[in-house]
Amino acid sequence: MFGKVLIANRGEIAVRVIRTCRELGIATVAVYSELDRDALHVRLADEAYALGGQTAAESYLNTEAILDAIRRTGAEAVHPGYGFFSENADFARAITAEGVTFIGPPPEAIEVMGDKISSRRAAEAAGVSGVPGRTEPVTDPEEILAFGEEHGWPVAIKAAFGGGGKGMKVVQGPDEVREAMESAQREAQAYFGRPEIYLERYLAWPRHIEMQVISDTHGNHLWLGERDCSCQRRHQKLVEESPAPAFPDEVRRRMGEAAVKVARACGYVNAGTVEFLYQDGDFYFLEMNTRLQVEHPVTELVTGLDLVELQLRVAAGEPLPFGQDQIERRGHAIEVRINAEDPAEGRFLPSPGTIQRFRQPAGPGVRLDAGYEAGDTVSQFYDNLVAKLVVWAPDRDAARRKMIRALEETTIEGIATTIPAELAILRHPDFAEARHSTNWVEQRLDLRGVQAAPAPTSAEEVGEERVLRDVTAEVNGRRYQLKLWLPAAALPVGSAPLGARPGQSATRAGRSARPRSAATQTGSGTVTVPMQGTIVKVLVAPGDTVEAGQTLCVLEAMKMENAITADRDGTVQEVRVQAGDAVGPGDVVAIIG
């Protein structure tokens, strides 16, 4: 087993890996951007090294900075988590070229399965059919038009080198093709560093069911069980569960065997997930994620296995300690993703900010994997996942009721979260009776009236008053954490108040977060943005005639693009932003007269 592992990631997945490493007696190394200097994963690791920069490209996607941290720490292995470099073959090769173990599949398997186009070809060669689609990248809108005319609308445009719904756009008809293609390419480039896209037929009412696989270096390929991830918005998952409800055992077995065929065909090693769409009793290969999944805890709870421990042992060359017939699945597990998004009216707008209060749930069968604590800031530059709440019970309805109870116990203030929407999902008869699909949340779930909880009004209300101060120091790039007791009088004017984390301003710690809401709908003609982010595209100019609801510009926040629309009919009098501008909540982007 390894003596020291570097986690090339952040947030809750870095925390998750650190915890298993600690249980196995493995030292851990965290890396961090300037914005994550005091993040939870940094505080928990044995060592932490600065990468520099703020954005992902400047930090967690900076190969040379990560390699430098590896050399300086003497780490024997690197765990990539998910997102960032987890499915990047070049990064895996750079790690192994240093004589360091990459805790994941071989680069060749990443290349085959990380490219969604070549993965379709590999799956078909293994006898596993996919959703009808193209097996070559799309470079011209005319190709999308021709595909739509041949297979029918809607059509799904997807990032060739990504997953998790990032870079995916559903095109309802010919008029949407060009804009959707450009948006998909921008999101793919921003999140995965590659702009390539491809096409698939968009199924009308499928369920998204994926199979967890694990493979070792001794030729063993096993399937551990399936997860139903059908509750989605913007093609990104909100609620996941295992086993899949109303799912025949015979189909489960065939899907597991198909997943193993795909893993064996690409010479897979380590943990991976083969994803399928299931509709009318048939399933279709969708893609393979060559990494640990966000929703892996539900598989852990029903199997009793630690997937991160298995990853570490497989990467160290150990054979899997069990066979297919020895895998047992018990009870039912449900996971919800608590994201920094405001679900009001079903808009799910990103909600970066500082968490002022975080009351966590507890009780039998309740697990919380969080990347933040009270006082931590959720940045616009990274993914908006705050925590994953997971429950286990003997059957599905008991698990559903337990999740409702656990969510009701959870309090997060200072940012808006998806908790109100997830309660609406879990309480809905369609979910209780497994009548949902990947389109159910956006097409049928009524989220009118759903509002995020208000923030507290002062630091005193969240109990942050204290004298003990955490102080961070860096020596030759290595981070050290110190604790100092300081009297209130010793704090300079304008510094962070007592109880604030280092680097937290007095304004941020002592004031409630600005309420998050959709773009102004009063018809005033003054169009503002509802969140912090970056303008990536401006679609109008002064003098243009616009209609209410028409997109004026596109705002990127937390790796998602959001349309900023006109609140009334009229003529554009002013445009106050251009592509590349950083904006904050309430900033005016256009005036309509």
CATH number of the domain that 422 lies in?
Answer: 3.30.470.20
Judgement on whether residues 94 and 140 belong to the same structural domain of the protein: no
The SS3 of residue 222 is strand
Judgement on whether residues 150 and 263 belong to the same structural domain of the protein: no
Judgement on whether residues 62 and 172 belong to the same structural domain of the protein: no
Residue 559 lies inside a defined structural domain of this protein: yes
Q: Which of 201, 227, 250 is the last residue of a domain?
A: 201
Beta-ladder partners of 391: 334, 366
Burial 350-384 (b: 16+ CB within 10 A, else e): bbbbbbbbbebbeeebbbbbbbbebbbbbbbbbbb
Residue 64: its H or E element: helix 63-73
Structural contact between residues 21 and 75, judged by C-beta atoms closer than 8 angstroms: no
Structural contact between residues 457 and 463, judged by C-beta atoms closer than 8 angstroms: no
Task: Give the integer Cα–Cα distance in Å for 401 and 404.
Answer: 5
Q: Residue 511 has what pLDDT?
A: 31
Residue 84 lies inside a defined structural domain of this protein: yes
Strand 588-592 and strand 526-528: pairing?
A: antiparallel
Task: Give the integer Cα–Cα distance in Å for 432 and 245.
Answer: 10
Judgement on whether residues 141 and 93 belong to the same structural domain of the protein: no
Residue 520 lies inside a defined structural domain of this protein: no
Which structure tokens are listed for 84? 């960032």
Which structure tokens are listed for 395? 């059957």
Judgement on whether residues 66 and 174 belong to the same structural domain of the protein: no
Judgement on whether residues 197 and 220 belong to the same structural domain of the protein: no
Q: Please report, for the domain that includes residue 178, its CATH number.
A: 3.30.1490.20
Q: Is 506 exposed, middle or buried (0-12, 13-18, 19+ CB in 10 A)?
A: middle
Count of structural domains, the chain: 5
- What's the full length of the chain, in residues? 593
Judgement on whether residues 215 and 192 belong to the same structural domain of the protein: no
Task: Give the integer Cα–Cα distance in Å for 128 and 331.
Answer: 29
Residue 516 lies inside a defined structural domain of this protein: no
Q: Residue 454 has what pLDDT?
A: 57
Residue written as tokens 């017939």?
325
Q: Which among 208, 45, 197, 52 is positioned nearest to 117, based on CA atoms?
A: 197
Task: Give the integer Cα–Cα distance in Å for 104 and 85.
Answer: 11
C-alpha 366: how far from chain center: 21
If one counts every other C-beta atom within 10 angstroms of the C-beta of residue 322, the result is 15
Judgement on whether residues 212 and 146 belong to the same structural domain of the protein: no
Judgement on whether residues 252 and 140 belong to the same structural domain of the protein: no
Q: Which of 162, 179, 201 is the last residue of a domain?
A: 201
Task: Give the integer Cα–Cα distance in Å for 261 and 282.
Answer: 17
The SS3 of residue 97 is helix
Q: Please report, for the domain that includes residue 56, its CATH number.
A: 3.40.50.20
C-alpha 308: how far from chain center: 18
Judgement on whether residues 252 and 287 belong to the same structural domain of the protein: yes
Residue 449 lies inside a defined structural domain of this protein: no
Q: Please report, for the domain that includes residue 588, its CATH number.
A: 2.40.50.100
Please give the chain's pLDDT, 593 residues, in tens. Answer: 999 999 999 999 999 999 999 999 999 999 999 999 999 999 999 999 999 999 999 999 999 999 999 999 999 999 999 999 999 999 999 999 999 999 999 999 999 997 778 898 999 999 999 988 887 899 999 999 999 999 899 999 998 887 667 788 999 999 999 999 999 999 888 877 889 999 988 888 999 999 999 999 999 999 999 999 999 988 889 999 999 999 999 999 999 999 999 999 999 999 999 999 999 899 999 999 999 999 999 999 999 999 999 999 999 999 999 999 999 999 999 999 999 999 998 889 899 999 999 999 999 999 999 999 999 999 989 999 999 999 999 999 999 999 999 999 999 999 999 999 999 999 999 999 999 999 999 999 999 888 876 554 444 444 444 445 666 777 777 887 766 555 554 554 444 443 343 333 333 333 333 333 333 345 889 999 988 788 999 999 999 999 999 999 999 887 678 899 999 999 999 999 999 998 887 899 999 99
User: What residues make up the domain containing 140?
Assistant: 132-201
Structural contact between residues 370 and 43, judged by C-beta atoms closer than 8 angstroms: no
Q: Which among 441, 445, 447 is positioned nearest to 207, based on CA atoms?
A: 441
For the chain, report the end-to-end CA distance as a whole number of angstroms. Answer: 68
Which structure tokens are listed for 266? 């690409």
Judgement on whether residues 530 and 415 belong to the same structural domain of the protein: no
Q: Judge if pTM exceeds 0.75.
A: yes
Judgement on whether residues 166 and 309 belong to the same structural domain of the protein: no
Asked if residue 243 has a cis previous peptide bond (ω within 30° of 0), the answer is yes
Instruction: Quickly list DSSP for 265-295.
Output: HTT--EEEEEEEEEETTEEEEEEEE-S--TT
Longest Cα separation, the chain:
73
Strand 155-159 and strand 169-171: pairing?
A: antiparallel
Q: Residue 69 has what pLDDT?
A: 98
Three-class SS string for 28-82? EEEEECHHHCCCHHHHHCCEEEECCCCCCCCCCCCHHHHHHHHHHHCCCEEECCC
Residues 6+ positions from 390 with CB-CB distance below 8 Å: 297, 298, 301, 333, 334, 335, 366, 367, 368, 369
C-alpha 342: how far from chain center: 16
Three-class SS string for 444-503? CCCCCCCCCCCCCCCCHHHCCCCCEEEEEEEECCEEEEEEEECCHHHCCCCCCCCCCCCC
Which structure tokens are listed for 219? 């030729």
Structural contact between residues 584 and 514, judged by C-beta atoms closer than 8 angstroms: no
Structural contact between residues 388 and 477, judged by C-beta atoms closer than 8 angstroms: no
Q: Which among 73, 54, 69 is positioned nearest to 503, based on CA atoms?
A: 54
Residue 127 lies inside a defined structural domain of this protein: no
Residue 450 lies inside a defined structural domain of this protein: no
If one counts every other C-beta atom within 10 angstroms of the C-beta of residue 251, the result is 17
Residue 42 lies inside a defined structural domain of this protein: yes
Task: Give the integer Cα–Cα distance in Å for 360 and 363.
Answer: 10
Structural contact between residues 56 and 69, judged by C-beta atoms closer than 8 angstroms: no
Residue 435 φ then ψ, to 5°: -105, 15
Task: Give the integer Cα–Cα distance in Å for 360 and 411.
Answer: 7
